Chain A
Amino acid sequence: MSSATLTASAVNNAARRGSALGRRLLVISAWLVFLLFLVLPLFVVLTEALKQGVGVFFTSIFEPDAISALKLTLLAVGIAVPLNLLFGVAAAWCVSKYEFRGKSILVTLIDLPFSVSPVIAGLIYVLLFGAQGFFGPWLREHDIQIIFALPGIVLATLFVTVPFVARELIPLMQEQGTQEEEAARLLGANGWQMFWHVTLPNIKWGLIYGVVLCTARAMGEFGAVSVVSGHIRGYTNTLPLHVEILYNEYNHVAAFSVASLLLLLALLILLLKQWSESRINHLKARAGEE
């Protein structure tokens, strides 16, 4: 063996050892970041909630104000998510299946709510529908209340969650193209048949993924809802707002108990997300094999 190859292999070995060490260091620091940034806050929520025992924990969760806050949150989510689901499918359909002028502007507009502060999202509806807003006098005459009532909460929730479903569906549907739909049409399917039997099965998991993300945000929205809600206990208080009220009253155990309920819902959402994501990857891998 010549000396040149000897040194080369020595250098190579040293580099490999170096990279093994570097790799270990990187993995350990990733674990540290994970534990410190993500796990520790969860741990704190649970320990603070159970500080005075399981009894206090359950009383805080089953207290009437907490229950009505939970009901309001579910109601707002139940109205906002289906509406944005319908919008997401329609928006993704026209963006991904056709070419037209101004398409990139439309895509930018769909994403717009992501770069608007939630507080501004609340503010714009107060300016429109509040007592001193554009439609304020008219609404008062007709005895319709939007701000400090359910419609305002739904509007604010809708605004902040507009892009979620569309954002997931657009790349997915663009990738799939239009061939299968065209084939269905040529075989005599009408528009709805084509959608139900060809498009929907193809985008099902992407749709679920978008809905899961949309639900998470709708359930936890704080800033926008806080502006339009008026914080009326038992009436216009959503679960996150209820956490704030309890916390500001120095009722920390109750605040963290309700917070841990939201935490459990968040973990459930993560599970659903993981599941739909793995289905998407599975389908992609299968499509790749074909």
Chain B
Amino acid sequence: MSRRTSPVIPGFGLTLGYTLVYLSLLVLIPLGAMFVHAAQLTWEQFWTIISSPRVLAALKLSFGTAFLAAVINGVIGTLLAWVLVRYTFPGRKIIEAMIDLPFALPTAVAGIALTALYAPNGLIGQFATSLGFKIAYTPLGITLALTFVTLPFVVRTIQPVLADIPREVEEAAACLGAKPLQVARHVLLPALLPAWLTGFALAFARGVGEYGSVIFIAGNMPMKTEILPLLIMVQLDQYNYAGATAIGVLMLVVSFILLLLINLLQRRISHS
């Protein structure tokens, strides 16, 4: 780590050193310690923990609901970004300012608010009840909570890209006889897709790890509505550190593999 191109500006050693020490002490060494802790388990022990039906059910639920929420956000996030960038209409500024509410609102507050809203006797939940299904205390409720907390990601990553696409390109395509769907497919989609995938990946990663907003609405029934982070919490409450560590390692490894795949996909798209 050497070769500075701007020798006039001081502070390289100081700032880089401080950054590395701070990151190491706060993030890297503690995270590494978790892997060291997990390495004390034998493969059989590790495998027994992570292949238990309860862990597998939680794994499927966490990644499944986070994926679904990211897909929903991919749709409504694109809609919101499009409307905010392209149109002027009454209330645009209010919506623009409030999009970030899920980032500013503590997740526990979001959790109890959404539970009150979607519970069987809640404002929206009662309609579901009369139609014969439940929202809160089911995977559907978890998905909705995750959709709420990750709503800003797709909007905020797409917005600047959308604003930078010159309208002339679309107009030119339309003048050359392209139908609106063709314009969307051949002009907008290629330009937006990398940013869309970034937003999707951010929403997905946050959704997998999310805890505060989910535990209230989930109902937390083992095998049915128990998410992975909660399972770690349960192990910790029972002083089962080996179990908590194994599940933590599993979760990190699976998330990183998925993020890596999304990253590779993104590179292929922006190269072609």
Contact = CB atoms under 8 A, between A and B. Distances in A.
B23 A162 contact: yes
B206 to A, nearest CB: 7
A178 B28 contact: no
Interface stretch (B41-49, B91-99, B132-140, B264-272): B91-99
Contacts of A191: 10-11
B107 A240 contact: yes
Q: Which of A19, A186, A227 has the most chain B CB within a 10 Å cutoff?
A: A227
Contacts of B199: none
A78 B78 CA distance: 36
Contacts of B1: 100-102
Given A115-B205, A220-B108, A30 B95 contact: yes
A259 interface: yes
Interface string A99-118: 11110001001101111111
Given A23-B87, A33-B76, A123-B245, A266 B256 contact: no
A117 B34 contact: no
A262 interface: yes
Interface string B124-135: 100000000000
A236 interface: no
B123 A44 contact: yes
Interface in B4-44: 4-6, 8-12, 14-16, 18-20, 22-23, 26-28, 30-31, 33-34, 37
B211 A226 contact: yes
Contacts of A182: 6, 8-9
Given A41-B113, A117-B229, A178-B9, A31 B248 contact: no
Contacts of B106: 219-222, 239-240, 243, 262, 266
Identify whether the interface residues of B are mostly helix, strand, loop, or mixed.
helix
A97 B6 contact: yes
B209 A118 contact: yes
B37 A118 contact: no
B117 A40 contact: yes
Interface string B233-266: 1001001010011001001100110010000000
A21 interface: no
Contacts of B33: 124, 127-128, 134
Given A31-B91, A37-B147, A178-B9, A120 B34 contact: yes
Contacts of B180: 15, 19
A252 B122 CA distance: 13
Interface residues of B, number: 88
Interface residues of A, number: 92
B3 A120 contact: no
A144 to B, nearest CB: 16
Interface in A8-32: 15, 19, 23, 26-27, 29-31
A99 B5 contact: yes
Contacts of A222: 106-108, 211-212
A213 B103 CA distance: 8
Nearest to A93: B15
30 contacts: A26-B82, A26-B87, A34-B98, A39-B98, A90-B19, A90-B22, A93-B11, A94-B12, A94-B16, A97-B6, A98-B6, A100-B3, A100-B12, A114-B206, A116-B31, A117-B210, A119-B209, A119-B248, A120-B251, A123-B236, A124-B33, A124-B34, A132-B239, A191-B11, A195-B11, A220-B104, A220-B109, A222-B108, A247-B216, A267-B104
Given A178-B6, A262-B105, 14 more contacts: A30-B83, A33-B80, A40-B123, A41-B110, A98-B16, A109-B28, A119-B211, A127-B30, A155-B26, A185-B9, A240-B108, A243-B109, A263-B105, A270-B98
